[in-house]
Amino acid sequence: MTDRPFPDDAQRADLGIDAQPGLYTGRHLLLLSDTDVGAALSALREGAGVRAYPGGASGTPDEGSAAVFDRLGVAVVSADPGRHEALLATARQAPSILAVELERWMFGFGAPTAAIAAEEGHATWGLRATGVPESACRAHGVRVAVLDTGFAPVHRDFADRVVVKVSFVPGRTADDRHGHGTHCIGTACGPRRPGTHPAYGIASEAEIYAGKVLDDAGSGTDLSVIAGIDWAVGEGCRVISLSLGAPVRSGEGYSRVYESLARRARALGTLIVAAAGNDSGRPGYVAPVSHPANCPSILAVAALAPDLSVAGFSAGGGTVDISAGGGTVDISAGGGTVDTSAGGGTVDLAAPGVDVLSAAPEPAGHARMSGTSMAAPHVAGIVALLAEAYPCASASELADRVLGGARALPVPSTDVGSGLVQAPR
């Protein structure tokens, strides 16, 4: 790390605006030091004549003003071309301004594929988008762990399935009284032919390991989650799906403990997949990938809508690495507001995560939910299919295969990684 918090080539990267008309709103996103927002705003006022007001107010900032989101350490600045140079110069000189990017529109990237969601006759839109109905694999005998709120005591679609349930929440059985865990298990391991509903499950012949690590209100602790991971690894599960997380602050970095845990799990044959997080408020703010999905050895999964656009809530990877020193401002990648964590923090894959039909505790039996929580089990289920197709593959080889088989999308890789996960044929 040098004493210059803002690299010299920022302006050069900024010139990429003109090369991609229509992707940007014309406003700037500033990442401010969490501990020195006041200094950043003073620098903006004195260096670029920018006035600040609370970002919670409605409307968009007028030219020469900044909507400031204190809690997030983010400001959205409207600056005309005459003020642009002064803004960049101020950002370079003020240590309390960590990065500048161009605010981007999140709509209109590529052609919508609304036909996918037009009807869910034989299979959900998520299964169809990921090629599951065409896959000959069923993950027969593959063990899949879903660590969440548990699993429904009984369910009509799972009557003939192997379901191993263990609770790691003190004083609670593994029964799901929330619904989130049952929904995730339904996507990862549910049936391909559930009867009255569209097919919604991927690894339809997998052995299900349902670990309750979150209580019935949807909260849990490290002790429960680590215990659940250790259990799943010990049971020989080839993949663990984590639809849980804790938000991280920009620049916080990933947990060395969980990274070590994930590496050890891989060495023992288990790949961990996790939801990237739901804290974005696009297009204005793209939250950094949550813990533990931000660990390099855990696959972080973003959420897509039925038209294959990035879900507004889906977390995104960073484009600037200031804490490591020598980073460049990659405005041309259009990465939204940045996560400055040193390593990790990237989205690896994307999967369906909006309006996802899956299992629910009885008597309802089925429900639709949205979130990166719904996207992660799509990837976990497809990893299980790959484990059937390549039974001798190591966990890291499975990771390479699921990443390599993804369908590229016409959106920045910071939002979707390798693209839309695809099932093996």
Partner 1 sequence: MTGPAVRVIVAVDPDRYADVVSALRRAGLEVDREWPRTGTLAGRAEPACVPVLRGIDGVLGVGAPRTFRITPQG
SS3 275: strand
Binding to partner 1 by residue 233, rule CB under 8 A?
yes
Q: Cβ of residue 185: shortest distance to partner 1, in angstroms?
A: 14
| Signed CA dihedral, 255, 257, 262, 266: sign only | positive
Of positions 12, 140, 193, 368, contacts partner 1 by CB under 8 A? 368
Active site residue 148: yes
Are 281 and 312 contacting, i.e. CB atoms less than 8 angstroms apart?
yes
Binding to partner 1 by residue 405, rule CB under 8 A?
no
Write down the residue that tokens 């605006």 correspond to. Answer: 17
Are 367 and 295 contacting, i.e. CB atoms less than 8 angstroms apart?
no
Tokens describing residue 372: 């990166």
Binding to partner 1 by residue 226, rule CB under 8 A?
yes
> Considering beta carbons, is residue 257 or 408 the nearer one to partner 1?
257
Binding to partner 1 by residue 56, rule CB under 8 A?
no
Residue 282, phi then psi, degrees to nearest 5: -70, 150
> Considering beta carbons, is residue 77 or 272 the nearer one to partner 1?
272
DSSP secondary structure letters along 54-114: ETTSSS-PPTTEEEEEGGGTEEEEE--HHHHHHHHHHHHH-TTEEEEEEEE--S--S---T
SS3 169: coil
Active site residue 183: no
Binding to partner 1 by residue 282, rule CB under 8 A?
no
Binding to partner 1 by residue 93, rule CB under 8 A?
no
**Which strand ranges, in their side-by-side order, compose the sheet holding 51-54?**
51-54, 65-69, 74-78, 24-32, 97-104
Tokens describing residue 11: 């302006």
> Considering beta carbons, is residue 149 or 332 the nearer one to partner 1?
149
Are 161 and 151 contacting, i.e. CB atoms less than 8 angstroms apart?
no
Of positions 34, 70, 216, 230, contacts partner 1 by CB under 8 A? 230
Of positions 20, 60, 93, 219, contacts partner 1 by CB under 8 A? 219
Binding to partner 1 by residue 218, rule CB under 8 A?
yes
Q: Cβ of residue 279: shortest distance to partner 1, in angstroms?
A: 7
> Considering beta carbons, is residue 311 or 416 the nearer one to partner 1?
311
SS3 309: coil
Q: Which of 14, 148, 330, 339 is catalytic?
A: 148
Q: Which helix (H) or strand (E) holds 150?
A: none
Active site residue 155: no
Binding mask 237-276 for partner 1 (x = CB under 8 A): ------xxxx--------xxxxxxx--xx--x--------
| Signed CA dihedral, 228, 251, 38, 48: sign only | negative
Binding mask 175-214 for partner 1 (x = CB under 8 A): ---x-x--------------------------------xx
Binding site for partner 1 (CB under 8 A): 148-149, 178, 180, 213-214, 218-223, 225-227, 229-230, 233-234, 243-246, 255-261, 264-265, 268, 277-279, 291, 311, 313, 354, 368-371, 373-374
Q: Which are the catalytic amino acids?
A: 148, 180, 373
